[in-house]
A = this chain, B = another copy of it.
Amino acid sequence: MRNFVVVGNRAATTPDFSLEDIPGTSGRIDILCRCINSAFVLSHGIRRDVHVYLILRGGGSPKTIQLRGRDLRHLNPDERTTAALLKKALALEVDSNWTKSTPGIFVRIGDLANLEIFGDGATYYLREDGSDYRGLSSGADGTFVLGDHIGLSEEDEAFMTDLNAAIVSVGPRSLHADHCIVLINNELDRREAANRDESEIDGNGTKE
């Protein structure tokens, strides 16, 4: 499983934003929409082995929206329809339990530290001064934590340290979170393909 966690430091926790001006009215939910596209969208379908967690901190108690690739429906690649799905989720009355919004989309009250996924496999914190993720020998999955345009707070960073998260980067330029997710997905795709090729060699003695 690939988990992408994106922290939206000012992202709206209510549906009171305009689809006609997402960047200006939602605390940059447009960034989160682009991350969803990068995490899930393939040419002919949706990545089923991906979960995305959006941490929304733009007012009142933080909320978390979870998107599960296996169950996702109605996801189009454009920002506006994705923002409309998030708006729908944010209109629900929720507590600290996951409440289903549309197929594959769940929402609850909760912050980064409340996520149960950490510890279940390797955790990576994406930061521009990190080690090159491409060079790291590793499996074909993991949990990847990214900040929006503001980045992670000191408190978040301390939490990452407590988790023993590896600090990684995706290249020599500083990129938006959605571009980083494209690069991580590509690297994991390549590792999966390489593992598949190896197991074919192991299984048959020769590679087809």
Q: In the complex, which residues 25-52 of chain A have their Cβ closer than 8 Å to any Cβ of chain B?
A: 30-31, 34, 37-38, 41-44
Partner-contacting stretch, out of A8-16, A60-68, A77-85, A156-164: A77-85
Residues of the B chain whose Cβ atoms lie less than 8 Å from the Cβ of A23:
76-78, 81
Collect the chain B residues with CB atoms within 8 Å of residue A43's CB: 128, 149, 173-176
- Per-position 1/0 for A58-100, Cβ under 8 A of B: 0000000000000000001111110000000000000000000
- With beta carbons under 8 angstroms apart, the residue of B79, B128, B173, B186 that contacts A78 is B79
Q: Please judge, given known A-B contacts A23-B76, A30-B77, A78-B23, whether A192 and B172 are in contact too, CB under 8 Å.
A: yes
A44 is contacted by which of B76, B171, B174 (Cβ under 8 Å)?
B174
B-side contacts of A76, CB under 8 Å: 23
Question: From A183, which residue of chain B is reached at the shortest CB distance?
Answer: B186
Residues in chain B near residue A149, CB distance under 8 A: 43
Hey, which chain B residues are within 8 Å of A38, CB to CB?
179
**A37 contacts which chain B residues (CB < 8 A)?**
34
CA distance A80 to B25 in the complex (A): 14
Q: Closest residue of chain B to A190, judged by CB?
A: B171
> Is the beta-carbon distance between A175 and B42 smaller than 8 angstroms?
yes
Q: Could you tell me which residues of chain A, from 113 to 154, have a CB within 8 Å of some CB in chain B?
A: 128, 149
Minimum CB–CB distance from A84 to chain B (whole Å) comes to 11
Docked Cα-Cα span, A34 to B33, in Å, equals: 12
Known: A34-B37, A173-B186. 6 other contacts (CB 8 A): A20-B20, A23-B77, A34-B77, A41-B179, A171-B186, A183-B186
Q: Would you give 13 A-B contacts (Cβ < 8 Å), ordered by A?
A: A19-B20, A34-B77, A38-B179, A41-B176, A43-B176, A44-B174, A77-B176, A78-B79, A171-B186, A171-B189, A173-B186, A173-B189, A179-B186
